[in-house]
Structure formats: C-alpha cells, structure tokens
Amino acid sequence: MSTTTWHTIREASMISGLPESTLRYYEQIGIIAPIARDPSSGHRAYTDEDIQSLVTISCLSATGMPLDAMREYLKNHFDGTEGARRQMALLDAQALRLAAKAESIRMQQAYVSLKTLYWRAVAEGHDDEAQRLLEENHDVIETVKKQIRSKADA
C-alpha cells in the first residue's frame, strides 16, 4: 500500500515555479483539475501527481503556449496513440509560433544594428552614408513597421 504525499500550495508553487496566484487561477479556469482540500483547514493539498502536472504546465507556459492549448495538451495525455498525434500537432503549432517570434526578434535586432550604424554615420558627419544605409535597409525598416501594425491590430 502506498501513501500519498501532500503538498501545500506554497510547496507546489516552489516546486513548479508557478506563483500561488497562478495555481489558483489555473484551477479556476480548468487548466488543472480541482485540487483536494485538507478537511481540517480547507487549504489546497497537492499530490505528487498534481505536482508532476504543474511542472509540465510550467514548462508549457514557459514556451508561451496559449492556455487553451495547454488545457488540450493535458487532456490528450490519456488518449493513447490518437492523443499522441494531437500532442504532436499542438507542439508543432507551438514550434511555429516560437519560430515566428524568433524571426520577429531577429528583425528587431537587425533594425537596432541598422540604426546604430545610421547614427554612427550621422555622428561622424557622413550624411550620405547614413542615407545610403536607410535606402539599402528599407526592407528591415518596413518589416519592423509591419510588426508594430500587426501588434496594434491584435
């Protein structure tokens, strides 16, 4: 017979890396199943299995996975090979989101580098070089402007 180890919300938070308020919120919105309560105090009591789920959720959250996708990910765990296929699709979609984010950051870095070169040319009195930099890197500037517009539209 195995015994259950119970953890307080503070311990669950420390182990998972998720703030206590997030643990309560995730329970409230159904990301995690309702947590058992200590009958004497009414406080949440997390099992080792709960903690394992929280660590998974914490990792998914760290990737920026949307809440609906995390919820589905946790449900798929119990669905055998079909669930595994859905897991792969969820993770593939997250990989695409991360790749897009990485590309966005790469363009932002290119913009910062361009502007550094531009202002260096201006500071050294090379206005013609500064203008050439802007003209040659028009695509970088336009891409960053599009990123700004798409964030504003979202």
Share the mean pLDDT of the chain: 92
Average pLDDT rounded to a whole number, residues 59-87:
91
State the pLDDT at residue 1. Answer: 61
pTM over 0.85: no
- Quickly count: other Cβ atoms within 10 Å of residue 9's Cβ: 17
Q: Measured between alpha carbons, how far is 2 from 45 in angstroms, rounded to an integer?
A: 17
Q: What is the pLDDT of residue 3?
A: 73
Coil vs helix vs strand at 60: helix
pLDDT category of residue 8 using cuts at 50, 70 and 90: very high
* H or E element at residue 26: helix 20-28
pLDDT digits (tens, 9 = 90+) for 10-64: 999 999 999 999 999 999 999 999 999 988 999 999 999 999 999 999 999 999 9
φ/ψ (deg, to 5) at 86: -65, -35
